[in-house]
Chain A
Amino acid sequence: MTGYRNRILRVDLTNRTFSEDPIDGALIRDYIGGGGFGIKLLYDDLKPGTDPMGEDNDLIFVAGPLAGTSAQSFGRWKVFFKSPLTGGFFKSSGGGYFASELKFAGFDALIIKGIADRPVYLWVHEGSYELRDADYLWGLDCDDTHALIREELKDPAIRIACIGPGGERGVRYAGIFSDRRAAGRGGGGAVMGAKNLKAVALRGRQKVSLADAEAFKNAVKEQVGRYKKHPNFKHFSLTGTQNPEFTNVMGMFPTRNFREGILPNYESIDSSAYDKIRVRKTRCYNCMLHCGSLTKINTGKYMGSWSEGPEYETIWAFTGPILSTNIGLTVAADKMCDDLGLDTISTGVAVGFAYELYEKGIITKDETGGLELTYGNDEPVLTLIRQIAYREGLGDVLAEGTREAARRLGRGSEQFSMNVKGLEIPAYDPRGAKAHGLSMMTASLGADHGYGYAAQEIFGVPYKGRPVDRFATEDKGEMTKWNQDNRAIWNVGILCSFGAGYLDHELFGRLLASATGFRDFLDPQYLRLVGERIINLERMFNVREGFDRKDDVYPARLTNEPIPDGPAKGQVFESELLLEDYYRARGWDLETGIPTRSKLNELGLEFTLKR
């Protein structure tokens, strides 16, 4: 087989056994790869009610069919699991070189189950595999874990995905890290830690073979040409997403736990400020965008801090929620989260949640261990992040995620947990962009900004040839469906979001078909059907766990309180109206939000009906 390695490795950590499976033909035909493989494998493997931190949860790593080839921007890897934060389906995505190395090592996916009796790491190399002792690594941060495994195995080119102290302690938004790239969200790190799995290390030299090398080469040449010709390529390449001004000028940069939409003095941390502290560009496997940045702080109390990043979400996470414009703190906090293995978004929102509770006297200085969580005060933040990672003091409560933290604290704190389905809301106020907000409200992961990013509302990309009013509520359901299905299509590649703007379904199909030999992939309609199927199966995974319309909901702050000032002044999120429009567009039951029988039949998902 070409493109694919046609090998999935199953690992049972409890019994320390392995098995290899070829990929089922139907899996390729109906789900293509990447995100398609992830949801189908997870759905088939798991029973409803599985404990996310228990033996029976899966941790599934997937590399796409185009990973390890010369096609640009297909180097991302994805991890699939039942989330300890949301209790539902989760897929988390990371950059770097882990996916290509998995292909070179001989595999398309790793399905890891069980719990090891003591800390281990999985070593997969040149088609072989073993579990190795990780006692000596347990407790180490992510950078050190990488260094020591490479030393132990005497190979600096080994690629690794690991957890830090946060994952080891079951912080519910602990992530999985590979060369400072993060599959951050949803608690994959906690699942991995619960399995006593410190890391997965990979090394391989098997090149990915192609069905039609000539056609593939031509398709890649065309792709590269599009990157080079695009007028915005150079700019995005340079800055990545280090420009928090864009949501500020739209009045939807959430501040003080989603109360206002503009950070006072945001100009001091806009893209020009990041230009000054950027020291080097970084990149993922075979991606000419090299949109990553190494930043370093040279002055002030955070002098000497550096980070790969921070990207937009992280820039927001340590400024907006606490009303700080200290760029040094942002960089230092980004590095600390990378080192300790935490999702920056959920961490930032959790810190912001604590600041609001402190403001309202719901928690006091006694409970914060003397930390003064006052707006504009950056001093407590690094301490608080450490407390979260090590589950100390207030950090132990915040480590549960804001929804559970609020439940445990009580005292009226529940209304201040800004989450959907337990996942903390990221750096976009839904009141400022309705389709964008609708996607985050309905996504199976919870409030995920990438699930169906509304570029039409945020970056003025026309929809069906017409400009889109971000405040309007009409026709946003259909557009949201399109955005979500479209992202699911790219996810089979696995294509980085930032590469999506240079591709279309036709060229994508040619890349897939010439690599794998499956000519069905040439048809854009075929790809769209697969995309819609994936989204619906993710939905059905959650339905099986008890999710329905009641979970497609925002906190009252966003639906009842208008944004007080700025360009989005007066806006609320009209959830009932937008949700109904979305369910209609999706063909889901209006009352329950569950895909109808006829929709499931249409997508070949009848098997989800037997429950």
Chain B
Amino acid sequence: MIRLSQARNKALLAIHGWSGALLGLLLYAVILTGTVSVFSHEIGDWSAPLEQAPQHALPHRIDAALRNAAQQIDPKYLESLFFFSDIGGRVRAFFHADEKDASGRPVDRGVGLRIHPQTLQVLERYEGESDAIKAQEQHGALAEFFVDLHVRLHLPNPWGLLLTGVLGLAMMVAAMTGFIVHRHLIRELFTLRRRRDALLTARDTHVVAGTWNLLFAFVLAFTGSFFSFGTAFGVPAIAMVAFGGDQERLIDTVVGGKRAEDARPAAFANLDDMLADARRRSGSEIGFVSVAHWGRADATVTMTPLPPAGRFAARNYSYDGASGAFLHEKPTLGLQPSLGSDLFDLMGPLHFGSFGGLLSKAVWFALGFAATYVALTGMLLWTARRAGDSRAWRRYETTVYWMGYGLPLALAWAPLGYFGAMALGADTHAGTNTAFLAAVAVATVLCGVLRERLALRRVLLALTGLALLLTPLLRGLAGGPGWGLAFDAGLRAVIALDSALLIGGVWCLRGARPSRTTQQFDGPRASPA
């Protein structure tokens, strides 16, 4: 494909291999958890369903519930409000004030509510900083665990985001160098040699998966880095340079549409009427609403509809909160349509794969699985070539097996901890974390006990399979609906995810059986020269 001198080829291959070897373990974790997180919405609906199927649009009559809540909270928290349909269809509302903590970092502090979408009853009420409120909520624990592990590896901001941003860049470097050094990309598209040298099979396995996944790898790495660096680095840096460090002013300027302040008290108009008007204008259900300055003359309501069919994003509709009058329609960024706003709108759909419902999510899941496979086979190939050289490389090879097969085990155990805690009435966050860490500990012990890599792989796969098979059972024991009830109530996510877990469990158990293919792959390494 691209002709390079032998020296240049060697140098690029070294960059490709070493970037993968040094950052591959964490990159693998980010990609695998991202693959799972494609279905975070469905995981939330599956793990914490209400009695009826969730609607991922807002209820049409929400005004009375929010107005009643607004009357009962500290008026300082009426500065900002947002609400949207969340796990199981529960409406998540957060009345808050934008404050700064001791270090000057912006924090949101207020009152969080979970409202039943049909009865409009307040199910849960929390008070405090937004992160602390999230930690108290029991229903979202499992889905949030997977998403948080993917977004920032459970590290505190901004370090977790910076790290995942760097990993995204590493993925782009690996994809680019892999593309350049592989001279026969098209010619070897369908070639995977299984009956010769084990290292050759390992090389072909990695190259074939990487070639087919190349374009997606670029897209995913770029959009992922965009999200990570944008929040952790981009916004603070631009704020520092152009807005004297005031991130809120930067966001107001870039997003646009902020009205002149008028703090005189004024009655708040009917939200249901504004919602109905926005639905009529957009031809779509409303996905997200934000309210600034509830109860003031300068109150503004901004509605974001769900993207219309065939589109990636919808335009926002702004209303005067005091009179209910329509103000204007605007794109996500700025007040006029722009290429920048269109590109910004594209980042989410390209990264999350949620633009086409379950079909696009299924495709993105498959692509994520392929990317995970590329990362794992790359590390196994790199270490297999060197494990004969030194004890350090052999230890690193064991570490690759630990992460490669131990992380799926830990992710499969996490729901067991979640449902176990739910059944016992304990904190589901603690239950999820404990089960995850327990699985990590088990994998670590097994790595120490089982010297033979093939046996280690088989045991870890078998334990993963068992966990996946047990999860639907434990979900039922924790009070979750059975399939009959779920079918009657339209809770499709319950049946779909239970089925996926059962299929995944059987697949893992089958993979744990000895076979000639795995014998070849994990067979004797090439001896050192």
Question: Are A and B genuine complex partners?
Answer: no
